[in-house]
Amino acid sequence: MAEPRRHSAQEIIAHAETIRGLLGRVRAYLKNEPLEKPEVLASGIEFMLEGLYVHKKLSKAEMRGHVAYG
What digits encode the pLDDT tens for the residues 12-60? 999 999 989 999 999 999 988 888 899 999 999 999 999 988 898 888 8
Neighbouring CB atoms inside 10 A of 67's CB total 14
Domain spans of the chain, in order of start: 9-69
Residue 67 amino acid letter = V
How many angstroms from the chain centroid is the CA of residue 33? Answer: 16
What's the pTM value of the predicted model, to 2 decimals? 0.78
Q: CB of 68 within 8 A of CB of 61?
A: yes
Phi, psi of 63 (to 5 degrees): -150, 125
| C-alpha gyration radius of the chain | 13
Q: Which has the closest alpha carbon to 29: 48, 12, 54? A: 48
